[in-house]
Every structure is written in structure tokens, then in C-alpha cells.
């Protein structure tokens, strides 16, 4: 089994066994403790790279998320990311959608750790000119616009898989995008209302969702549990299982471009 797919498989097992939806600290520890990774901290190696394209690489149709203990669907789109004067901090803009509640947000992603895999598979080294593969961990803090009860702050830990090619360019790692259990850009944390009265677990990611409990019952790819269809997941099922035209249109629409204010 290839390095990253094996790594993600282990993470998937951890996610299903973790105590609740909010064991973010345990999740982060498991990432750093994975034996296929070098124990040498590689954060300083990233100073010269621009990672802004990593968090905007995935198609929106492959980004899934939930908010709250009932796994209500949330759609998250990071629209832009820009490296700041601090080489480990990126300014971010984006948008969220829960039901009909739309909010734009601004914030930061701050890199905390980076580790490289001990092995690069020969086929990737040859065909994709891969020199190194690794993971990046970061803290994120996104503040939504507005002041009402439906506006708040997303915060937590983010994981991304990257690789560096022989020309010295860094890429979003989708070399194993065809593999069962593939995921990237995993965000795990919470949403807290601006008035401080409500705090909800909120996780999302590319292709899969971290710490998603029994929401995701898919084997090779993401598939929502029928008992949560009523919480915003019905259209996904209707689109990709039933091939319903209206549902497909809903899943594929660029919702973050429709709101100008």
C-alpha cells in the first residue's frame, strides 16, 4: 500500500474511534506520531514556499463539512489565501453556507508543523518527479461578517498533504486521489458565535471529513448516512446516487459567487 493512502487509512480509523467529534488534540497527536513520517521538524523548510494554492486547489463539489452534533451540513469555500510578511502565516478570505444562511469570512492560517514521509514511491519519483512528500499542520482562525447570532468564528487545527518536485516547486498532493479513503485539507475545530453563547463542533475537508463519526458511511469515497439526510445531505444523495438533475445542479452551483454583499 502506498505511503499516503496507508497514512490516511490510519487517520480514518482514528477518526471513527475517537471519543466524540471534537478530539482535535488527539487527532493532531496521531498525525505527528505516524511512523511513516520523519520525526524531524521540517517547518523551516517551508519558509521559501508559497502554500496559498494548497487551500484553494480542490473543486467545491469535493469539499464536505458539518456543524453541530447532529452533523448539519455546512459548505465552506476558501476563496483566496495570501502569504504575509511572516512566512508561516497566510491571510484568507472565504464563505460559509448553512441552509440559507450565507456568511463571508476573513482570517488566518498559521503553520505550526511540517513533517516529511520517510519514503517516496519510485513510480511517483519517476512519473511526477516527486522529490519529497509531507504533511503540514496549521492553526486557523476565520471570522465571519455580521453581528447576529448566526455570525461567529471558526478555529481549530488544519492538515494538508503536499509534495515537492525535483524542480523545487510545492504542490497540493493529489497523487493518490484515485485511492480509497483519499482526503486532503482537513479542518477540525469549532464554530463559536460572536456573542459567546453558542459553541458548535465544525469540521470539513476535501473528499472526506475529519472526526466525522457515523456521518460518513462510505468505503472508497464519502457517503452520508441516511439518518442525517434531513440535516442538509439529501441533495448530495439525490445528485450522486439517484442522478437527479435538479440535485446535481444544486451540488455543482458556485454558491459563494451568488452573494455580492
Domain extent for 50: 3-216
pLDDT at 215 exceeding the cut of 70: yes
Q: Give the percent of the chain with pLDDT over 70.
A: 91
Distance in angstroms (rounded) separating the CA atoms of residues 173 and 120: 12
pLDDT tens digit sequence for 60-104: 999 999 999 999 999 999 999 999 999 999 999 999 999 999 999
Nearest to 135 by CA among 158, 153, 161, 109: 161
Distance in angstroms (rounded) separating the CA atoms of residues 233 and 224: 7
Nearest to 236 by CA among 212, 215, 258, 256: 215
pLDDT tens digit sequence for 126-176: 989 999 999 999 999 999 998 877 899 999 999 999 999 999 999 999 999
* pLDDT score, position 149: 78
User: What's the pLDDT band for 3 if we cut at 50, 70, 90?
Assistant: low
- List the Cα angle 151/196/28 in 5-degree steps: 85
pLDDT at 261 exceeding the cut of 70: no
Domain assignment present for residue 260? The answer is: no
Q: How many domains does the chain have?
A: 1
Distance in angstroms (rounded) separating the CA atoms of residues 50 and 152: 28
Domain assignment present for residue 97? The answer is: yes
Domain assignment present for residue 84? The answer is: yes
The stretch 34-50 carries a mean pLDDT of 94
Nearest to 166 by CA among 204, 120, 203: 120
H/E element, 236: helix 234-240
- Residue 139 DSSP code: E
Domain assignment present for residue 226? The answer is: no
Amino acid at each position: 500500500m502506498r505511503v499516503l493512502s496507508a497514512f490516511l487509512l490510519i487517520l480514518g480509523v482514528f477518526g471513527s474511534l475517537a471519543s466524540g467529534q471534537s478530539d482535535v488534540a488527539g487527532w493532531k497527536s496521531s498525525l505527528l506520531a505516524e511512523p511513516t513520517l520523519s520525526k524531524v521538524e521540517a517547518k523551516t523548510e517551508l519558509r521559501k514556499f508559497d502554500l496559498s494554492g494548497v487551500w484553494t486547489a480542490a473543486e467545491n463539489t469535493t469539499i464536505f463539512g458539518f456543524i453541530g452534533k447532529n452533523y448539519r451540513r455546512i459548505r465552506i469555500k476558501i476563496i483566496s489565501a495570501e502569504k504575509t510578511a511572516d512566512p508561516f502565516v497566510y491571510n484568507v478570505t472565504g464563505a460559509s453556507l448553512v441552509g440559507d444562511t450565507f456568511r463571508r469570512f476573513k482570517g488566518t492560517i498559521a503553520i505550526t508543523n511540517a513533517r516529511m514521509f520517510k519514503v517516496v514511491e519510485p513510480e511517483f519519483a519517476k512519473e511526477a518527479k516527486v522529490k519529497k512528500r509531507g504533511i503540514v499542520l496549521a492553526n486557523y482562525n476565520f471570522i465571519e461578517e455580521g453581528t447576529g447570532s448566526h455570525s461567529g468564528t471558526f478555529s481549530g487545527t488544519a492538515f494538508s498533504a503536499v509534495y515537492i518536485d525535483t524542480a523545487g516547486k510545492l504542490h497540493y498532493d493529489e497523487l493518490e486521489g484515485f485511492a480509497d479513503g483519499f482526503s486532503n485539507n482537513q479542518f477540525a475545530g469549532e464554530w463559536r458565535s460572536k456573542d459567546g453563547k453558542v459553541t458548535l463542533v465544525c469540521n470539513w475537508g476535501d473528499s472526506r471529513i475529519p472526526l466525522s463519526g457515523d456521518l460518513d458511511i462510505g468505503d472508497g469515497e464519502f457517503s452520508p448516512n441516511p439518518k442525517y439526510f434531513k440535516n442538509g445531505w439529501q441533495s448530495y444523495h439525490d445528485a450522486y446516487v439517484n442522478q437527479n438533475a435538479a440535485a446535481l445542479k444544486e451540488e455543482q452551483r458556485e454558491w459563494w459567487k451568488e452573494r455580492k454583499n
